Amino acid sequence: MMSIMIVVLALEMLVVYFLLSNDKARNEAMIIDNQQKASGYNTVTAQANEFRANLAISKYILDKQAPYSSLILAIAQALPSEAVIDGLAITPATFGVPTTLIVQTNTSETAIRVKTQLQDVMFNNKHIFSDVSFESISAPGASAGGTSYRATYRVTYSKDMLLQ
């Protein structure tokens, strides 16, 4: 009886061993198949990670960039109607360093008034220019727009505008 019991137990253990071996082989094949499928997604994952990094860089740049069009509009609105901007440069390199602003006016008094108004022009409760001074004023004659004076100003854009 004891030997029959040992044989039955041995057979049961052998059956369990074959079942577990079969499951192990099937699971290993499934792991290999999943790894092959996952390797196909690695390029997509790498592209997604690169895209996320580029978005983060773009957001940082856009958050730190000055609102150029708003600054130009604020400057234009501050000028008298008789003044026409002829040359204006706004780049990240122009903030904090003197640059040239050219305005054409119909009188020398308007050119003086432009200087005063440029000193007072503000955007978001901050002065756009930290320094405004005359560089030159000349009367080259009447142009098509009816202006007869060309005023060149030395202006320094405030670095505070970069922090908008």
Look at residue 46 and tell me whether its pLDDT is greater than 60.
yes
What was the pLDDT predicted at 18?
A: 96
CATH class of the domain comprising 68-163: alpha beta
Q: How far apart are CA 26 and CA 52, in angstroms?
A: 38
Q: With beta carbons less than 8 A apart as the criterion, state whether 102 and 86 touch.
A: yes
Asked whether the predicted pLDDT for residue 20 surpasses 80, the reply is yes
Out of 26-35, 64-73, 80-89, 115-124, which region has the weakest mean confidence (pLDDT)? 64-73
CA distance linking residue 5 with residue 9, whole number of Å: 6
Tell me the two tokens of residue 107: 């009188």
Structure pTM?
0.55
Place of tokens 């609102």: 67
Highest mean pLDDT among 28-42, 120-134, 140-154: 28-42
Report the chain's C-alpha Rg in angstroms: 38
One-letter amino acid at 93 equals A
Q: CA torsion sign, 55 to 60 to 63 to 67?
A: negative
**Which of 34-38, 105-109, 158-162 bottoms out in mean pLDDT, i.e. has the lowest?**
158-162
Backbone angles phi, psi at 129, to 5 degrees: -105, 135
pLDDT in tens, 109-120: 888 889 888 888
Q: Which of 145, 163, 110 is nearest to 118 (CA)?
A: 110
List the chain domain ranges: 1-64, 68-163
Q: Is the dihedral of CA 116, 119, 123, 128 positive or negative?
A: positive
